[in-house]
Each structure stands twice: as C-alpha cells, then as structure tokens.
Amino acid sequence: MKQRILSLALAFTAIFQLRADEGMWPLTLLQKIQDPMQARGLKLSADDIYAVNHASVKDAIVRLMSKQGRMFCTGEVISSQGLFLTNHHCGYGAIQELSTNEDNILKNGFWAANQQAERKANFNIGLLRKIEDVTAIVLKDIAINQDEATRAKAVMAQIAKAKEAAIAGLGEERNNYVVEISSFYNGNQYLAMYYEVYRDIRLVGTPPESVGKFGGETDNWRWPRHTCDFSMFRIYANENNKPADFTPANKPFSPQHHLAINIGGMKTGDYAMIMGYPGRTTRYTYSEGIKYLGSKERPMRVALRRDIMDVYEKYMKQDEAVRLMYSDRLAGIGNYWNKFNGEAHDLSKPGGLYDTRKAAELSFERWMRENKKTDVYGDVTSLYDEAYRELYTYGLYPVYFQDGISNSQPMSFAMSIKAIADAIASGKPDTAMSNGMLRNIDEMYKEFYPAIEKEVLAAVIDHLYKDLDPTLLPADLVALMKKYKDNATAVAEVLFAKSILSDKGRMAKFLAKPSAKKLESDLLYKITIAYINKLRVDLKPVYDGINSKLDRANRLFLSAQLEMLPSGQAMAPDANGTMRLTYGTIMPYDARDAVSYSFFTTSKGILEKYKAADFEFDAPQKLLALIRAKDFGQYADKDGELHTCFLSNNDITGGNSGSPVMNAKGQLIGTAFDGNWEAISSDFAFLPNVQRTISLDVRYTLFIVEKLGGAKHLIDEMTIVKD
C-alpha cells in the first residue's frame, strides 16, 4: 500500500508540478535552487543575489509604481548615479504625458544633454529591502478547514495587525516605505515585502516611437522581433540619499548595487536569469476553469477589445494629434487583446491543457482517498464544479465592466462623479470634491476625442445588449435598444448628444453647480451607475458565493499539493506581483513543422521590415543609414552584425516587462519585453519546448543611445565590460 501511495504522488507531481529549472521563484527559495542554478552555469551564490545585510543583485532591481502605489513594470539600475533602464512601453505613459504637439518627444525621442535637462516623470519606484515570512502570525489559531467567510475575516484582521507592526518597526523611516503582505500558494503562506519608495523620478532618454515600438501590434507576441523597447530614467534623492518629493535640490540616487553591462555577446546554451516583478499566473487552474476561459470568457474579451481598438486605429491613422492622444490607451488595450486572443485559441485546443489538468485532478483524488484525507480535501472538486457552472451564467458581467465600461471614457467619468451624487443624496454636498474636479477638468478631457468616444460607447452598448441577459441589464438601456430597434449606434448618438459626461463644457457647468436633478435626467450617467449597482448590489451575493467556493477550493488544492511534495523539493508558487527569479539558457526553438527559429535577430531585419510612413514599420532615416553603413562601433557582434533581440527559455509574464536579463556573473545582457505566440497561454502552463522570453539585446540599446541619440555621456557613466 505504501508503494502504491508513493506511485500516486509521483504520478501527480509528474503531471502537474514545475521542474526545478522552470517557474518564477521567490527570493526566499533561492537557497533550495542554488545547486541546479549553478549546475546550469551560474557563478554567483544565492546570497550574492538576495541578501539583507549587504549589497546584492536584488538592490539593483526596480519596481515601477504609480503615484497611487500600483505596480506596473520592472527596471534595473545601471549606473552609480541612479540611472535605470526599463522598457519603452513601460515608460510610455510618462513619455506621452511629457509630450505636446509642439514638443512631441514620444514621436521624436528625447535625450537629456545633462542632468538639469532631465524631465520629471509622474511615477514612483520601489526598491525591495527585505522579506519576512509572517505565515505563523497571519494563520495563528486558524484551522485549515475552517469555513471560508470566518477564515477570510480572521486572516484579513491578522494581516492588518502584522502590517501595522511591521510599519511601526520602521521607526522614522516609516514614511519612506510601503509594506505589502502577499499571499503565496493560494493562502497557505504569507510574506511581508518591505519596499523603500523613491518619489522623484526623471526621464533621461527615450528613442523615437518608431524605434521603441517598431513592429507595433503586428509583431506583438511574435518572433522574430526588432523592437528597441527601452527607455531610461533616473532616481533622485535628498542629501541623505533618502526618498524625497521632487525638488531641484535633490541629487542623483546612489544605489547599493548597480548592474555592470556585458557587451561581449552570447551563444546557445549560455546561462541566463531574469529578476523582476511578474504580475499574475494561474498555473494551478482547475480543468473546468480552463474550459470556461477558453470557450467563453477569453473570446468575449477579445471581441470587445478588438472593436474598441478598431475605432481608435481608424481615427489615429487620420490625424497625428489624435494618434498622440490615444497612443497609450491603444497600447494598453492592444497588448492584452493579443494575449487573450492567443489564450482563447490555446486553452480550447482538443487534447490540450484541459485533458492534462483532468488527469492531474484524478491522481489527486486517488491520493486523497488512499491517504484518508477526504475530511480535509473531499469537497475540492465539487466546489470547483459548482463555481464554474455559475460563472457560465454570471461571469461576463464583471468582464464587460473591466473591458467595456471602464474603456469608455464617458462611462468612467460617471464613476468619478458618483461620489458627488452620493454626497448630494446624503444632504451634505461636498463642494471641495466638485471644485477639485473642476480645477482638473482640462486634464480629465486631455485625451478625449468625441468622435472616438461616441463610437466606443456604441461598441460597448452593442456587446452589453447582445452578449448578456437583458433581464440583468439596466432598464433604461434595454428600453432604448428596443426603441431604436437594437441599433447601438443610434442609442450612443442619443446618449452622447445630451450627457454632461460627453462634453467638457457641460461637465464644467455641472461641477460648478452640482445638481441631483441634472444627474437624474442624464441617461448615460443613469445607465452606467445602474450597471455598477447590478454588479455591486444585485449580483453581489452571487459573486460572493462564487469567490468563496473558488478561494476555498484553490487554497485546499494547493495545500494538498504542498503536502504531496517529496521531502526537500521546492515548488514555485504562482506569480503575484512580488519579486521573482527565473533561470534558464539562451536557446532557439522549433515553432511548428518545418519552422525553426534562430535565437537572435539582427539589424538586417529592420531594413527588411521597413515601410516608409507606415503606422507600425516606419523608422528614422538616420537609423537606416547607420545600419546600411554598418556603423555599429563597439556594439557589433563577433559576426560583424548588430544583434537586436534574442531568445531564452526563461519563465516570465506581464509585470516582468523591463526586467534585466543577466548572464552567469549577474551582468546585464538585455531587457525582457515579450513572450512568443506559441506559448501565449504560459500563464496557465509552462511549455518547455516552445516557451521563450523575447529580450532586447543591450548592445542594440547602447547603440541607439550613442549612435542615434548622440548621448555618449550616458554610456560613460555605465560600467561596461566585454568578456
């Protein structure tokens, strides 16, 4: 019997577990994977990579954060003066914000001639200083099979106490830190992350958009690539090298560690590792979840986003000012449109991930019975089945809020002024709130083009009405669609013509004198708020029930998986926005029958793809001339060519954008910026034969800085090696 139980456990791990050389590893597990990393070629120790009491590689890794604290990308410090590198698409919003029609640095590029010329960027960065395991504190006196509502309430209360204690322990430094307590293994472990947050960030340099976004959406998630996806910023600090708000008196930040840059090139089989902040993966999604996402949820997201993107692109191609206005919005929607499109295809493949997961779940159930664990884990599969049955009926309502209503600016404005309406309804109007919005109204409508927004509104309405159950939609919307014979364009025209939300002048007039009566007569406002109320009030018990079932099933399933692990074996948890390390090798791949790819591209491909004045494949004439003349300087490879991008089999996801790709010595060789189409569903499963990270070769980056940008002074402040 013991042998049979062992066999079942091994069968389960063979189907479902990550191998040691895949996965996104928390820094707390580096000691456990040090040997396999070094066997692959790593010359550093785990302590060289992550240490608290002395400088280590982790001190050069930057977490990009909005002013509100939302993490969105990764970067790496590359000089002793706080210069850091990230992707062009990560800096895109800040660059766009600094651009005007008269000084369009998004289009033309920008290189600060000196530090005084660097421009204030509207985001923060965080540096991870230490990690503490607080599982024992958070889960104290909480039983594994406690009912989910009681358990969740207790966990949240204990997280709050643990966070309060952690912040108090920082003393005078507390205002410079953000402490986040994150869940790992679906609530089976909790780690506290201490981030020192720097608030004075300045743009140093960016290539022209035609270079930094070369290939556009056509090349997105595709190989071969020739995108020079980078931008450069600098961290500033006060006289004590501590975080400070922007002031001209601040000095360039002096980091504990910065990455040396190796321009010696690479070859197949060379060690490569990436450190950064991957956002979310769901590698342990239940089989019915795979089916639901592949057959319904992802296809619906794809269709809705595509319709919105079509509207953007139609007008952006007609007017350069509109292109500048909507560039960041298109990039944000388009990136995940491409990803969701690929996932819809991959997750619905016959004989694919669904069948693999089903086999793993059957092995789990056999292990559970053999080990007499049904009292703890016995309701896992039934909870999953119930939750996904309900999602087929109700799951699209929050999806269409996220991908539809939130992408319609007039509808999103309705959410902004709801607080004003609530204050009026309570009898305590908040003039400070409305006056504050009035002062910022130009910024509010800065990226608002009425013709686009009217058509986007029509697209959103069309999807809501045709894809969802009308009995669960706002009554005013249903009535209008019936009145205009299901013509969403006509309905959008009516709503847009009179709403205060669709016109800056009408909005300003309302904010100057807020009126409940005015809102009551605004059908666009009423429809938007009614939809939100459907989600947050009418359907709340439904979603609470679904989430409770999924939370419990996910937690228990991962608990069982940890219990089944052989002694001493490590298992990488899903990505959750915390710093991770992934390691592997430089590697080509076979994409499909008779299609094999090299691991690198060269500047020849830019000449081959170039299309004058094209929306996606234009390029500066100066760059084309440099390439034709082979004026590559010290950045040429041994083969005499300028290498542009390369592949490795590292395991990354969204949030890793801008992450450093390092060699065996921890030196920078590139920046990660994309994955490949053949592994588009990698958030659900690692696909070792085809999964590749697409990275920008640091030599192409430096070539653009020096040769195209004329910013040799930036090269001079970096530590560059060639060995």
pLDDT tens digit sequence for 579-601: 999 999 999 999 999 999 999 99
The answer to whether residue 11 scores a pLDDT higher than 80 is no
Retrieve residue 224's tokens: 């071969």
Per-residue model confidence (pLDDT) at position 576: 97
Per-residue model confidence (pLDDT) at position 335: 83
Residue 368 burial class via C-beta count within 10 angstroms: exposed 0-12, middle 13-18, buried 19 and up: buried
Per-residue model confidence (pLDDT) at position 380: 96
pLDDT in tens, 638-681: 999 999 999 999 999 999 999 999 999 999 999 999 999 999 99
Give the residue from 258, 254, 225, 262 showing the smallest Cα distance to 238: 254
Residue 159 lies in a domain: no
Per-residue model confidence (pLDDT) at position 7: 44
Q: Which whole number is the average pLDDT over 202-231?
A: 96
DSSP 317: T
The answer to whether residue 623 scores a pLDDT higher than 80 is yes
Contact yes or no for 575/280 (Cβ under 8 A):
yes
Percent of the chain with pLDDT over 90: 88
Per-residue model confidence (pLDDT) at position 14: 45
Label residue 431 by pLDDT band (50, 70, 90): confident
Q: How far apart are the first and last CA of the chain?
A: 57
Label residue 20 by pLDDT band (50, 70, 90): very low
Contact yes or no for 295/348 (Cβ under 8 A):
yes
Report how far Cα 78 is from the mean position of its chain's Cα atoms. Answer: 23
Mean pLDDT of the chain: 94
Contact yes or no for 617/215 (Cβ under 8 A):
yes
DSSP 65-127: E-TTS-EEEEEEE-BTT-EEEE-HHHHHHHHHHT--SSS-HHHH-EE-SSGGG-EEES-EEEE
Per-residue model confidence (pLDDT) at position 19: 52
Q: Which whole number is the average pLDDT over 506-514?
A: 93
Q: Which whole number is the average pLDDT over 711-719?
A: 98
Report how far Cα 519 is from the mean position of its chain's Cα atoms. Answer: 36
Q: What is the helix (H) or strand (E) element at residue 27, kind and residue range?
A: none
Q: Give the residues across from 197 on adjacent strands.
A: 126
Coil, helix or strand at residue 255: coil
Per-residue model confidence (pLDDT) at position 21: 59
What size, in residues, is the chain?
723
612's CB contacts (< 8 A; 6+ apart) are: 618
Instruction: State the virtual CA torsion across 152, 156, 161, 162 in degrees, nearest 10.
Output: 90
Q: Which whole number is the average pLDDT over 245-255?
A: 98
Per-residue model confidence (pLDDT) at position 8: 42
Per-residue model confidence (pLDDT) at position 580: 98
- Number of folded domains in the chain? 1
Label residue 22 by pLDDT band (50, 70, 90): confident
Per-residue model confidence (pLDDT) at position 235: 99
Catalytic residue numbers, as ranges: 89, 229, 657
3-state secondary structure 127-144: EEEEEEECHHHHCCCCCC
Give the residue from 230, 224, 232, 187 showing the smallest Cα distance to 205: 232
The answer to whether residue 523 scores a pLDDT higher than 50 is yes
The answer to whether residue 559 scores a pLDDT higher than 90 is yes
Rounded Cα–Cα distance for residues 261 and 698 (Å): 8
Q: The domain containing residue 376 runs over which residues?
A: 287-355+365-541
Q: Which whole number is the average pLDDT over 459-470?
A: 96
Percent of the chain with pLDDT over 70: 97
Residue 349 lies in a domain: yes
480's CB contacts (< 8 A; 6+ apart) are: 491, 494, 495, 523
Core vs surface per residue 258-281: b (16+ CB within 10 A) or e = bbbbbbebbeeebbbbbbbbbbeb
Residue 293 lies in a domain: yes
Residue 610 lies in a domain: no
Rounded Cα–Cα distance for residues 442 and 437 (Å): 9
Rounded Cα–Cα distance for residues 537 and 704 (Å): 53
Residue 392 lies in a domain: yes
Rounded Cα–Cα distance for residues 488 and 492 (Å): 6
Q: Which whole number is the average pLDDT over 250-264?
A: 98
Per-residue model confidence (pLDDT) at position 1: 38
116 vs 331, higher pLDDT: 116
Alpha helices in 404-522, H assignment, sequence order: 409-425, 431-439, 441-444, 450-467, 475-483, 488-498, 504-512, 516-520
Residue 521 lies in a domain: yes
Per-residue model confidence (pLDDT) at position 5: 39
pLDDT in tens, 289-303: 999 999 999 999 999
pTM more than 0.75: yes
Q: Which whole number is the average pLDDT over 550-566?
A: 94
The answer to whether residue 204 scores a pLDDT higher than 80 is yes
Q: Which whole number is the average pLDDT over 614-627?
A: 96
Per-residue model confidence (pLDDT) at position 329: 93
Mutual orientation of helices 431-439 and 409-425 as an angle, nearest 10°?
A: 160
Residue 194 lies in a domain: no
Per-residue model confidence (pLDDT) at position 12: 45
pLDDT in tens, 70-83: 999 999 999 999 99
Rounded Cα–Cα distance for residues 457 and 497 (Å): 12
Per-residue model confidence (pLDDT) at position 328: 86
Per-residue model confidence (pLDDT) at position 3: 45
Residue 508 lies in a domain: yes
